[in-house]
Amino acid sequence: MKSSKPKFALFKRKYLCIPYGLFLVMFIIIPILIIVYYAFTDDNGMPSINALVGFFTNWSKVNVLITSVFIALQTTLLCLLIGYPLAYFLADKKVNKNAVLITLFVAPMWINFVLRTGATRDLLTWMGINGGNMPYLATLIGMVQNYLPFVILPLYTTMLKLDKSQIEAAADLGANPFQVFYKSILPQSVPGIVSACTMTFMPTMSSYVISDTLSEGKITLFGNYIYLDFANNLWHDGSFMALIMLVIIGISMFLTREKGGAEQKGGKSW
C-alpha cells in the first residue's frame, strides 16, 4: 500500500502472530524441508536418487505399502460399518436422550494410548486370539477399537444436522425404510463419512504401535519401516518413505478438501 506518511507507532494486533509464525517455520516447515533434502541426497550430502531407487526396487517395501493400504482400508470400512449406525442411534432423540453418552465414547482417549493397546492385547491373549496364532485378526481388532471414536465423532455431528423434515417427507411420499436411507439419510451424511475416513485411513496406515504390539511383530506396516530405518540410522531411506506418506496425505487432503475440513478436530494419528 502506498503511503505518503510514516505509519504511526501504534502496535498492530497482527504482530502477535510472529512468535507462533517463527515456531511454525522452525519446527514444521524446516523439518519437512529437511526430510525432502534427506530423501534426495546420499551420505555425502550429494544429490542422489538412491533412496527412490532403493524403495521401488525393494519388493518387500512396496509390498508393505500395499499391505498397509489394505489394512487401513479394512479398518476404515469396519469402523464405518460399526460407527455409522451407532452415530445414527446416538443422534436420534428417541433412542438416546443423554448427550453425555457421546462423551463416554471419547473418554478412552484420556487413558494412555499405549496402555490401552496393551490392555487390548492382554485381553485378546487371554481369549486365545494372540499374535502367535492370529496376528492379522488381532491387529484389526486393535485398530478398530482405537479408531472408532474418530469415526463416531464426525458422523455424530453430521447426524445431528440431518434434515428431519426431508426424511419424513421421503417416508411420507411412500419410500420404504431402505429407500429413505438410501435416498435421504445417506446423501446427507456424506460430509461426515468423508471426514471420518480421512481421520481413520491415514493414522491407520502410519501407526506402528498397534500392529507391533498386537501381532507381536508379525505384521509390519509402513510406519514400522519408517521407524526401523530411522532407528538403524538409514535416514535417507526413512525420509524418502516419510515423503511418500506426505504425498499420499497431500493427495487425500486435496481430494476431500471441499467436504471434510470442519470436523478435523481430534483427528490425531498414532
Partner 1 sequence: MAKENCIISLQGVSKVFDGTTVVDNISLDITKGEFVTILGPSGCGKTTTLRMIAGFEMPTEGTILLNGEDITSIPPYKRPVNTVFQRYALFPYLDVYDNVAFGLKLKKIPQVVKDKNGNPVLDKDGKEKIKMVHLSKKEIDNKVMKALRTIDLEELADRDISTLSGGQQQRVAIARAIVNEPEILLLDEPLGALDLKMRKEMQLELKDMHKKLGITFIYVTHDQEEALTMSDTIVVMKSGEIQQIGTPLDIYNEPVNAFVADFIGESNIYNATMTGNKKVRFLNHVFDCVDDFPVNEKVDVVIRPEDVILTKVSEVKAENLTGKIVTKVFKGVHYEYLVMVGKAEVEVRDTKDREVGDLVKIDVEPMNIQIMKKELTRNIYPTAWINNKNQVILGEDGDPFECDVTQLLKGSSLDEEGFLISQDGKKYDLNDADVTAEIGLDAIEIIDGYDNGDTNGDIVNIVYKGDHYQVMVRTDDEEDFILDTLYTWNEGDQVSVKVAKENIKLTLKGEINKYEIK
Partner 2 sequence: MVKKIFGQAYIWLILLLMYLPILVLIAFSFTTSTNVGVWNGFSFELYPALFKNKEVMVALANTLIIAVSAAVVSTILGTLGAVGAFYSGKKFRKGYEFVNQIPVVNAEIVMALSLAIMFAALPSVIFKADLRCYWTLLIGHVVLGAPFVFISVKPKLQQMDPSLYEAAIDLGAKPHQALWKVTLPEILPGVFSGFLLAITLSLDDFIISQFTTGPGLLSAGDPKIVTLSILVQDKIKKGPIPPVLRALTTIIFILVVLGVIGVSIYRSYQAKHIKKKVRV
- Report the interface residues with partner 1, using CB under 8 A: 1-8, 10
Q: Can you tell me which of 188, 234, 249, 259 binds partner 2, judged by CB under 8 A?
A: 249
How far apart CA 159 and CA 92 sit, in angstroms, is: 8
Residues within window 87-146 making contact with partner 2, judged by CB under 8 A:
89-90, 92, 94-96, 100-101, 103-105, 107-123, 125-126, 145
**Is 39 one of the binding residues for partner 2 (CB under 8 A)?**
no
Enter the DSSP assignment of 131.
T
CB 259 within 8 A of CB 196: no
Q: Find the shortest distance in angstroms from Cβ 12 to partner 1.
A: 11
Q: How far is the CB of 15 from partner 1 (least distance, A)?
A: 14
Percentages of the chain per state (helix, strand, coil), in multiples of 5? 70, 0, 25
Of 2 and 164, CB closest to partner 1: 2
Q: What is the DSSP string of 198-253?
A: HHHHHHHHH--HHHHHHTTT-S--HHHHHHHHHHTT-HHHHHHHHHHHHHHHHHHH
User: Which amino acid type is present at position 84?
Assistant: Y
Sign of CA dihedral 173, 177, 183, 185: positive
Binding mask 227-246 for partner 2 (x = CB under 8 A): x--xx---x--xx--x--xx
Cα–Cα dist 260/148, whole Å: 17
Considering only 139, 220, 226, 237, the residue that binds partner 2 (CB under 8 A) is: 226
Binder of partner 2 out of 206, 211, 215, 220 (CB under 8 A): 206
Of partner 1, partner 2, none, which one does residue 6 interact with (CB within 5 to 8 Å by kind)? partner 1
CA distances from 23 to 14, 17, 26, 157, 266 (A): 16, 10, 5, 32, 21
Select from partner 2, partner 1, none the partner in contact with residue 17, using the beta carbon and a kind-dependent cut-off of 5 to 8 Å. Answer: partner 2
* Amino acid letter for position 134: M
CB of 188 vs partner 1, minimal distance in Å: 21
Nearer to partner 1, 11 or 178 (CB): 11
Q: Minimum distance from CB of 5 to partner 2 (Å)?
A: 20
Quick one: angle between helices 30-39 and 50-57, nearest 10?
70
- Residue 14 CB, nearest approach to partner 1 (Å): 14
Q: Which is nearer to partner 2, 79 or 193 (CB)?
A: 79
